[in-house]
């Protein structure tokens, strides 16, 4: 039996205000809430006075990007994908590219780390936010896992792994053809380094998983808990650093090799639910996705 003392995560916030004379000559006070992320310690500011502000370009989904129809010029469309994309080094796999369902995976021509790859969903060139199929996400995720397993065989120190997506140019996607990016490296990126340090400290002190604890406290509080898709639990970030930042947590899971196929299906459903929410808000037609794990 553990003798560890269970400590509660602190969801800290404080209010400040700005006072000034508004354009009608009235002295006003505008409240601002500063929240501290219980995991990272980073703060964010919620500016309540902007709540009713009408943002530009949110009346309707934006028009498709100019190259939405230009499949012949796209290096990720067939048949040119076979000739114009690189192949995986033979130390990792023997046949150059990995396939799973309709997903095709190959190295990133412009790598960010030791192992940097791209996993296409299928041959569909332009997909509006929330309109991808669940199986296309699931197959692409599983394809990523097969690649990361080959990476670990090649370099057991490349344990810092991430699957990310910048969908459409407004989210930073350089090619509109939907794809996931995979990075695995022996050197952690910022989020990996901070999260792992905090999760390790928490585990040593409490004999418990940091994000699972975060989830259980948020679920008990109820204010930001959204719901579940299978084993995945979804909640709005307490101290968001992006617009409409939503977290998905698979409790007590730290590696990309732990989830079963059904967990990937559940993750895909949650991601698509989130995208449909963004779509309902006409949020720019794009989104960013970041999934982290360490072997």
Q: Where does this chain bind Zn ion (CB under 5 A)?
A: 74, 76-77, 125, 177
Which residues, in sequence order, are CB contacts of 199 under 8 Å at separation 6+? 209, 210, 211, 254
Nearest distance, CB of residue 103 and Zn ion, angstroms: 14
CB-side neighbour CA atoms (13 Å) of 257: 12
Looking at the chain, how many residues does it have?
Answer: 295
Nearest distance, CB of residue 73 and Zn ion, angstroms: 8
User: Which residue minimizes CB distance to Zn ion?
Assistant: 74
Nearest distance, CB of residue 110 and Zn ion, angstroms: 17
Helix (H/G/I), strand (E/B), else coil: 75: coil
Nearer to Zn ion by C-beta: 13 or 71? 71
Q: Phi and psi (nearest 5°) for 128?
A: -70, 155
Q: Parallel, antiparallel, or unpaired for β 115-120 and 179-185?
A: antiparallel
Nearest distance, CB of residue 109 and Zn ion, angstroms: 15
Nearest distance, CB of residue 76 and Zn ion, angstroms: 4
Query: In sequence order, what are the beta bridge partners of 30?
Result: 18
Nearer to Zn ion by C-beta: 74 or 246? 74
Q: What is the dihedral of CA 47, 50, 52, 57, to 10 degrees?
A: -130
Nearer to Zn ion by C-beta: 12 or 124? 124
Q: How far is C-alpha 264 from the geometric centre of its chain's CA atoms?
A: 14
Nearer to Zn ion by C-beta: 80 or 155? 80
Nearer to Zn ion by C-beta: 103 or 295? 103
- C-alpha span between 113 and 115 (Å, rounded): 5
Nearer to Zn ion by C-beta: 167 or 283? 167
Nearest distance, CB of residue 70 and Zn ion, angstroms: 8
Helix (H/G/I), strand (E/B), else coil: 12: coil
């Amino acid at each position: 039996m553990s003798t560890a003392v269970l400590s509660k995560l602190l969801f800290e916030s404080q209010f400040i205000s700005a006072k000034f004379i508004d354009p009608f000559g009235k002295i006003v006070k505008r409240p601002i809430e500063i929240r501290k992320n219980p995991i990272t310690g980073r703060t964010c500011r919620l500016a309540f006075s902007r709540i009713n502000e009408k943002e530009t370009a949110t009346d309707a989904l934006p028009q498709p990007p100019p190259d939405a129809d230009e499949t012949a010029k796209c290096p990720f469309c067939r048949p040119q994908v076979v000739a114009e994309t690189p192949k995986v080094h033979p130390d990792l796999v023997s046949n150059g590219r990995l396939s799973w369902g309709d997903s095709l995976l190959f190295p990133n021509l412009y790598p960010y780390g030791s192992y940097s790859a791209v996993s296409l969903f299928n041959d569909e060139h332009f997909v509006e936010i929330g309109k991808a199929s669940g199986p296309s996400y699931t197959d692409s995720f599983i394809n990523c896992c097969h690649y990361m397993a080959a990476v670990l065989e090649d370099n057991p120190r490349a344990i810092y792994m991430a699957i990310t997506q910048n969908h459409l140019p407004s989210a930073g996607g350089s090619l509109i053809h939907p794809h996931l990016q995979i990075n695995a490296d022996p050197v952690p990126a910022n989020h990996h380094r901070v999260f792992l340090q905090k999760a390790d400290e928490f585990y040593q002190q409490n004999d418990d998983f940091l994000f699972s604890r975060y989830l259980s406290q948020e679920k008990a509080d109820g204010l930001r808990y959204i719901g579940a898709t299978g084993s995945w639990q979804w909640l709005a970030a307490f101290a968001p650093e992006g617009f409409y930042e939503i977290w998905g947590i698979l409790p007590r899971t730290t590696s990309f090799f732990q989830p079963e196929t059904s967990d990937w299906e559940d993750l895909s459903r949650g991601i698509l639910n989130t995208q449909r929410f963004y779509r309902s808000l006409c949020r720019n037609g794009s989104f960013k996705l970041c999934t982290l794990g360490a072997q």
